[in-house]
Amino acid sequence: MVPHRPTSSNDSLPQSVAVVNGRARAVASPTIAAAVQHLLASDVASWDAQGLSRIKERTVRSVFSGTLAGVPVHVKVFRADTLADRARDAVRQPRGEREVKNLLVAREHGLPAVEPLAAGIAIDGADRRSFVVTRTIAHATPFSFALDAAVQHRVGALLRTIHDSGTQPGDLHADNLLIDSHGEPWLVDFTSVRFGDVPSLARRAAALAFLCQDLDGGALDPRAHTLLAAYVEAGRELAPTFDRELRLATHRWRAQALVAFGHRALRSCKHTFAAERRRATPRWYVHLPSGAAETVIAAASAALAAPGEPLRRGRRGAVWLLPQFAVKERDAGAARRLWRAAYWLTFARVPIAMPVALCIDRGRGFVFAERVDAPSLAAEVAAGALDTNAVTAAARSLGDSLGRLHAHGLRNRDLKLDNLVRDPRSGAVCIVDLDGVRRASTIDTRGQGADLGRLLAAFRGANELGGDATVRTFLRSYLRAHRRLLQTPPLRRILRRAEQRAGEWRSAHAN
């Protein structure tokens, strides 16, 4: 297939109608032009009362769903709050108009992209915001690897067609790939897309790794086998090194995505509410999966107002165990690092006490986490509360967690049974003290032996805690987690360092 590029004939909607309402303007399909003109008479903030429902609110855009003139539509409204956003829109044209152009080019070349219906500039208070309207795909759901093999085969073949045509969507993940009621795939969100030459193997691999980001093994994960097979079979034969490129692309994506996800800890996004800065008032950050920001802040503020006596107090700060929260006090910088570490481990899918909120006030920070209502592993061992099955399950869970932690380039220099708790709901072993979590390169194995050594010493210090069988279960789970994440650590060298560190740890804690 010949690579294609956008041309001037694709820059606007066919048979479009110009719509002007004060400072707002748009071009729209004749079927919805009157409805768009009526919509533009109101500020974006009031569109919820104009037959549209706000379904997403992000730092970069708002998304509405509803009907215009009886046509089911999605409306995407872009923010241009920063100077960089405004400069980009001035140079590359507003994002709504750019998305229309990209969608039209894609549809012209036979790709199943959603139909654009309107684009223009809306008014939001004193700001002008670019927007785009697209026709809603009826009964569509985001792509998932849980869907049947026929759907995954179609998606794999479509991806190959996209790449072979020279189209490179910059944000093609599962939420931007919809599956309709007939099992057919549709492409949405074409704000960031490149039309040009057929991509290299490395670029193809990077795109597949991005789409398969929810799978431990990326495009090489067993659950992606059908999709990948369809991709490979749908065009000319690919180079024998393609699997290697997929592995490298998955490693690169994971390393970059971990850092990017850590940045989300301190800025407003779908995972975090970050309160505006106000002088002489506490600054709050809320992990949104834990609940609505206002509700969480009210509960955390009430807990902070009268926390009672701390469980312990040291040179770094205090710790409180409250009915709803575990709260740590640190200096502001350390609290932010602790909060970010919780995001890193959440990204790595390592069981932890769920982060809830962070409060920064007058140079001090208070980190709130969900309280796991269970004793530590050390306390359970001391009380003889673990039978053989429980010990085996705990060793398996802990090995998997530590393997995932290391495969993502993370270390924890404070691993011990006192800082591990079995979640009574899932049985998973949670890490509840993250002060020792640090980030390194995913290919750097330094520090892994020390982490293993601390746990080996802890196992043996607890009267072997199930004996050699427990240690073997732990290490097998550790290695399996690495392999699922496409890592092959030098286990023998790591174990030699672990044994050395275990001896040092036992000697240091002999009394």
Q: What is the pLDDT of residue 83?
A: 65
pLDDT confidence of residue 82:
62
CB neighbour list of residue 71: distance below 8 Å, 6 or more residues apart: 31, 32, 117, 135
In a shared domain, residues 339 and 453: no
Asked whether residue 511 carries a pLDDT value surpassing 80, the answer given is no
451: in domain:
yes
* Predicted local confidence at residue 6, as pLDDT: 37
Beta carbons of 435 and 414 less than 8 angstroms apart: yes
Q: What is the number of other CB atoms lying within 10 angstroms of the CB of residue 192?
A: 14
Judge if 301 and 412 occupy the same domain: no
Q: What is the model's pLDDT at position 18? A: 93
Residue 203 located in a structural domain: yes
Residue 36 and residue 123 share a domain: yes
Give the per-residue pLDDT at 1: 34
The answer to whether residue 218 sits within a structural domain is yes
**pLDDT given at position 170:** 87
Residue 467: the pLDDT is 76
Residue 4 has pLDDT above 60, yes or no: no
Three-state DSSP at 88 gives helix
121 plus 153 within the same structural domain: no
Same domain, 364 and 434: no
| Mean pLDDT of the chain, nearest integer | 90
pLDDT the model gives residue 9 = 39
Segment 150-168 shows an average pLDDT of 95
Do residues 220 and 338 both lie within one domain?
no
- When pLDDT is cut at 50, 70 and 90, the band that residue 2 belongs to is very low
Q: Which residues pair with 421 in a beta bridge?
A: 376, 430
- Decide if pLDDT at 51 tops 90: no
- Predicted local distance difference test score (pLDDT) of residue 86: 65
Instruction: For the chain, give the percent of residues with pLDDT over 70.
Output: 94
Q: Which amino acid is at 21?
A: N
Examine the domain organization and report whether 255 and 291 are in the same domain: no
pLDDT for 3 beyond 50: no
Flag whether 250 is in a domain. Answer: yes
Look at residue 306 and tell me if it is in a domain: yes
Residues 258 and 313 grouped into a single domain: no
What local confidence, expressed as pLDDT, does residue 428 receive? 92
Please report the pLDDT score of residue 10 as a whole number.
43
List, in order, residues 6 or more apart from 399 with CB less than 8 Å away: 473, 474, 475, 476, 477, 478, 480, 481
Q: Are residue 183 and residue 64 in the same domain, yes or no?
A: no
Q: How far is it, in rounded angstroms, from Cα 191 to Cα 194?
A: 10
Q: What CATH code is carried by the domain that includes residue 184?
A: 1.10.510
Residue 34 scores a pLDDT above 90: yes
What's the number of domains the chain is made of?
4
Asked if 151 and 223 sit in the same domain, the reply is yes
pLDDT digits (tens, 9 = 90+) for 10-30: 456 878 889 998 889 999 999
CATH of the domain at 488: 1.10.510.10
Residue 1 located in a structural domain? no
In a domain, 344, yes or no: yes
Domain that holds residue 120: 8-135
Residue finishing a domain among 118, 135, 152: 135
Structure tokens at 189: 């969100």
In the predicted model, is pLDDT for residue 316 greater than 50? yes
Q: What is the 3-state secondary structure (H, E, C) of 319-354?
A: EEECCCEEEEEEEHHHHHHHHHHHHHHHHCCCCECC
pLDDT digits (tens, 9 = 90+) for 339-355: 999 999 999 999 999 99
pTM: 0.89
* Same domain assignment for residues 277 and 260: no
Q: Which of 326, 354, 370 is the last residue of a domain?
A: 370
Question: What CATH number corresponds to the domain at position 293?
Answer: 3.30.200
- For the segment 451-509, what is each residue's pLDDT rounded down to a tens digit? 998 888 887 777 667 678 888 899 999 999 999 999 998 888 998 998 888 888 777 76
244-265 confidence digits (pLDDT tens): 999 999 999 999 999 999 999 9
In this predicted model, what pLDDT tens digit does every residue of 275-300 receive, in sequence order? 988 888 999 999 999 999 999 999 99
Mean local confidence (pLDDT), 57-70? 89
**Which residue, of 339, 370, 401, is where some domain finishes?**
370
* Band of pLDDT at residue 385, cut at 50, 70 and 90: confident
2 located within any domain: no
Instruction: Answer yes or no: do 172 and 255 share one domain.
Output: yes
